Amino acid sequence: MIEIDKFARQTYLANHDVDNVYDDITKLDPAELDDIDIFVFGSPCQSFSMQGNRRGLEDTRGTLVFYGLNIIKEKQPKYFIYENVKGMLNHDGGRTFAIIKEAFDELNYDIKYEVLNAKHYGAAQNRERLFIVGIRKDIDQDFTFPKPSKVNFCVNDFIVNCKYKDYTFDTTTIEVAIEKKKTDIKKVFILPHIKYGSDKKIYSTKGISPCLLSGNVRPKFYDEKNKIFRYMTETEMQHIQGFGLNFIFPVSNRQVRKQIGNSIYVGVLNEISKMLLPQQYFKADMAQTDTQELVAA
């Protein structure tokens, strides 16, 4: 496991028994690593996200992807899965992704990529992410991305009742929202005194959530079950992001939100893994929300 954020390491190790833990990929010699069957990685999305400054490869965080590629080149794992925001595809008119794709193509792998939305794989969340999947060329195996399904869930399905005292917000100036088009996200009210667009929106729990982000922006909802205006709780975010409710977050709520916003949605990774990996990598009793055990292996 490689993770520079000390709080993310703390959460990972609270849930997994891992022999080797590394903190800085830029100081890691790939030759010193043990052999790897499956390499799952990502790089900071702020360089490519619509929410960030979109400086792409000019941002040092954007270049971290190449350190992951160096590990693949050295250790030649059987499979790899890479995830980032879909903004990587069109940044700088597509030139950024062309450079990155060329680097992937130079590896000894058959590569496919696609943008998948978590809402089509069991999440009550609109979360579009780019996935790049590689199979080492000496392995005779086809791969197709999992097919999307209809949106079958809403935030109501993931509500975990608690005392909401710390999750309410001021609704003194609330106004009814006018929906211009029908979407899976149901915006029902706005707070006109708030300037920032997504911060002023209030959604219905009868719809899905907007994308959970790593910043300190929390989605605001009208809770149709409890008939109150409130923020989504960290436990509900955890549930919607696909982590089982037994998953441990031994960190502050602010860090929980950051880690959930930075995470891959577990259900998508689970579906890709089932399409990609031979059955010997799966435990017979593995539940959907236990995919993280596979990644840690």
Catalytic positions, please?
45
Which class for 289: exposed (0-12), middle (13-18), buried (19 or more C-beta within 10 A)? middle
Nearest partner of 214 among 237, 196, 231, judged by Cα:
237
Counting DSSP H helices and E strands in the chain, the numbers are: 8, 9
Q: For strand 109-117 and strand 128-136, is the pairing parallel, antiparallel, or unpaired?
A: antiparallel
Long-range contacts, 230-238 (Cβ 8 Å, 24+)? 230/164, 230/167, 230/168, 230/169, 231/167, 231/168, 231/169, 232/155, 232/167, 233/160, 233/162, 233/164, 233/167, 234/260, 235/160, 235/162, 236/155, 236/158, 236/159, 236/160, 237/212
Measured CA to CA, the distance from residue 18 to residue 137 in angstroms comes to 29
